[in-house]
Amino acid sequence: MRNACHGTNRICFVLLLMAISILLQVGIAGAHGVDLAVETVKGVAVTAAYSTGEPLAGAQVSVFSPEDPASPWLTGTCDESGRFFFVPDYNMPGTWDIQVRQAGHGGLIRVEVGEEGVAPPATNGLNTMQKALVTVSTVWGFVGTALFFSGRRGHASS
């Protein structure tokens, strides 16, 4: 009987220890709990494509802050569709340069970052009609030059 009681006490003691250790673990785990918060920020998304429309997948991107135009503030690569996204440091207002490059192709685009956000760059691309007009005009310039000089030759020989 005494032995049995002693045995029960022992079991109680072991159970108590287990309960304490579980509680302790929960407490420790609680200290490592992670609070997740979400905020919406304004960033810059760059899309790089060849003039034929094919994306520069995997192209390397270097972002230069206005404070250090020599060494990049951030480097990364474009995704499969030629896109790259980053959030500039709004404490550094000014002109940010984004350089995209792959095998010697690529370019540089500039965005103005201010206290109120990011101003998109002015687009200077030509549409198909303008491109055709520019091509025709330039070719006509070359043809005209050719005609002018062959005309002179004709006059000289006649």
Partner 1 sequence: MHLPDGIVSATVAAGGYVAAGGLTWGTLRIVRRENEDPRRLIPRASLLTAVFFVASLVHFPLPPASVHLTLSGLVGVMLGWLSFPAIVVGLFFQAAMFQHGGLTTLGVNACLMGIPALLSHGLFQLCHVFGRQKKSVNAVLGFLAGFGAVAISALFAALLLIYTIPEHLDAVSEKTAVIALSMAHLPVAVLEGVFTALLVLFLLRVKPELLETRK
| C-beta closer to partner 1: residue 10 or 67 | 67
| C-beta closer to partner 1: residue 33 or 104 | 104
Q: Three-state SS for 72?
A: coil
| C-beta closer to partner 1: residue 3 or 52 | 52
**Closest approach of partner 1 to the CB of residue 37, in Å:** 32
**98 and 60 Cβ atoms separated by less than 8 Å:** no
In this structure, the number of other CB atoms found within 10 A of the CB of residue 97 comes to: 16
The binding site for partner 1 (CB under 8 A) comprises 50-52, 54, 57-60, 62, 71-72, 75, 77, 99, 101-108, 124, 126, 131, 134-135, 138-139, 142-143, 145-147, 149-150, 152-153
| C-beta closer to partner 1: residue 6 or 110 | 110
**Closest approach of partner 1 to the CB of residue 114, in Å:** 24
Q: Cα separation of 127 and 131, whole Å?
A: 6
**Closest approach of partner 1 to the CB of residue 135, in Å:** 7
Q: Which residues contact 57 (CB under 8 A, 6 or more apart)?
A: 78, 79, 80, 81, 82
Q: Which residues contact 62 (CB under 8 A, 6 or more apart)?
A: 72, 74, 75, 98, 99, 101
